[in-house]
């Protein structure tokens, strides 16, 4: 899924990698638990994260960092595990705008206490998470256009 953000890729990259800005645009991210000055280059960081009505610790470990273009990270959130990739590219027809794509890869099932969520429910949860993330970044920059697109 992707959205057009009314900011250049450098500004969007900064919003995705600066702890102060992450906490400002993502209502689920409450605060870093660890030092995060050199995130994502310094390795992983833990975050206080709001998961529904429960606060949990989210473990965020960058796997691939291409400044201004791509951030792939492994997320562990309680029993949930997934890979999340942000890809940024300038919108040629709209100078000063960025196409921000988010890809989330989850296992076919998610373990829960005493049960599991099937792959279709996991896909629905992942889709909602990606849509929420894109909407929050877009709102942070005051963007109203560009709508979400699903390349599949």
All residue ranges of the chain with pLDDT < 70 are 107-123, 125, 143-152
What is the pTM for the complete model shown? 0.80
Q: Are 15 and 137 in contact (CB under 8 A)?
A: yes
Topology classification of domain 2-28+63-140: Alpha-D-Glucose-1,6-Bisphosphate; Chain A, domain 4 (3.30.530)
Please state the domain extents for the chain.
Answer: 2-28+63-140
Question: What is the model's pLDDT at position 149?
Answer: 44
Q: Which pLDDT tens digit goes with each residue over 30-55? A: 999 987 788 898 788 999 999 888 89
* Range 19-22, long-range pairs (CB < 8 A, 24+ positions): 19/45, 21/140
Question: What is the model's pLDDT at position 148?
Answer: 44
Report the C-alpha gap between 15 and 9 in whole angstroms.
Answer: 10
Q: Which pLDDT tens digit goes with each residue over 136-149? A: 999 999 844 444 44
């Amino acid at each position: 899924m992707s959205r057009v953000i009314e900011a250049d890729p450098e500004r969007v990259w900064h919003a995705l990698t600066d702890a102060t800005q992450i906490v400002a645009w993502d209502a689920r991210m409450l605060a870093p638990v660890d030092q995060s000055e050199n995130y994502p280059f310094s390795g992983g960081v833990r975050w206080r994260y709001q998961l529904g009505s429960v606060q949990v610790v989210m473990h965020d470990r960058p796997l691939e960092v291409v400044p201004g273009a791509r951030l792939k990270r492994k997320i562990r959130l309680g029993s949930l595990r997934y890979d999340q990739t942000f890809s940024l590219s300038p919108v040629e027809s709209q100078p000063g705008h960025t196409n921000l794509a988010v890809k989330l890869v989850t296992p076919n099932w998610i373990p829960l206490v005493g049960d599991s969520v099937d792959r279709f429910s996991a896909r629905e949860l992942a889709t909602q998470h990606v849509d929420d993330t894109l909407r929050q970044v877009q709102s942070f920059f005051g963007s109203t256009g560009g709508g979400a697109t699903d390349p599949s």
